[in-house]
Amino acid sequence: MFEIKYSGDGQTKKFVFSFPFFTPSDVFVMLNGDVIHSGYQLSTVSNQESSDIPYSGGTVTFDVAPKLGDNIKIFRRIGVSRVVDYQPTKPIDPQALNQDFSFMLEKLKDFDGMLTDFYDKYSEIINSDSYNVFTQKLDDINNKLNALGGIDNIGKKSDITALQNATSFTASGKESVVSWLQINGKFINANFLGTEAGGYLYTPEAHGILSVVFTANVSGDAAVEAPDAKTIYHKSITVNARETILLPVHKGLQIKFTVPALKEVNYQRLFLFKGEQ
């Protein structure tokens, strides 16, 4: 790694470094984790041993001495730009060619250093408590999705829209949901509702959506009560109207249907939620 780190003492202004570079713009200064572009001067040391890399180091002099405990980092990042321009009508200068190859090699060294730095930081992250908490939350989400039957079983927007329409008891919404359930849903046939006016009890065998379709013989009210006698569905039914009721139900919790006299009961089905057998 072409870098050097210092810790401020509140008095020292000058900090020396000794790695090679091509231009002063290749040298960067970081103070407490942030790259700074002012508040210091850079002086360079020319390379006396090799002419293909112009500089061998230098000194960073701060205008104001970094405070006690400040973290100073001086490092190299060679810019991606040509340092030698070969002319088609002139012979190739060996020194220029050597400098060009040196430039590419040093840039590759920078890339290698950055990769090493990345892997070091990545290792710190994956071994941290925060990362473990994050992965645990991802596992919890994955387990919940698996309990629903996997991510492929999450409803599409069209399904959700149809369910929202059905919640508002719109005819198109209910018919869309019923059609989707009949094609895609696993169901259990139910047989509790008769044509006589009155109340009918039903205890679901599983968690799911209960779908009941009937045609009224007379006008009246249809209602469904929860086990605590609270009404969870109520609607005025018109004679000869074909009515569809969709209700989410809980396994083992008995509900009560109250209906007027019916001309016919078209069908009664419990469509199972994902994960139900």
Task: Yes or no: say if 3 and 53 are a contact pair by the CB < 8 Å rule.
Answer: no
C-alpha to C-alpha distances, 129 to 5, 125, 135, 143, nearest whole angstrom: 27, 8, 10, 21
pLDDT tens track for 165-218: 555 555 556 666 666 666 566 888 999 999 999 999 999 998 888 889 999 999
Residue 149 near residue 274, CB atoms below 8 Å: yes
CA distance 210 to 65: 76
- For position 158, what pLDDT does the model report? 62
State mean pLDDT over 17-40. 93
Q: Which of 114, 51, 109, 57 is nearest to 84 (CA)?
A: 51
The pLDDT value recorded for residue 37 is 94
Mean pLDDT, rounded, of the chain: 82
Structure tokens at 210: 């209960």
> What is the rounded CA–CA span in Å between residue 37 and residue 95?
33
What's the token pair of residue 173? 């919404």
Per-residue pLDDT reduced to its tens digit, 56-106? 999 999 999 999 999 999 999 887 766 666 677 777 666 676 777 777 778
pLDDT of residue 107: 77
Instruction: Kindly report the number of other CB atoms within 10 A of residue 88's CB atom.
Output: 4
Q: In the chain, pLDDT over 90 holds for what percent of residues?
A: 38
Across the range 253-269, mean pLDDT stands at 92
Average pLDDT over residues 97-119: 75
3-state secondary structure of 120: helix
Q: Contact, 206 vs 272, CB < 8 A?
A: yes
Q: What is the pLDDT of residues 208-246, one digit of tens each?
A: 888 899 999 999 999 999 888 888 888 898 999 888 888
Lowest mean per-residue pLDDT among 116-120, 157-161, 225-229, 255-259: 157-161
Q: Is residue 58 within 8 Å of 43, Cβ to Cβ?
A: yes
Please report the pLDDT score of residue 118 as a whole number: 74
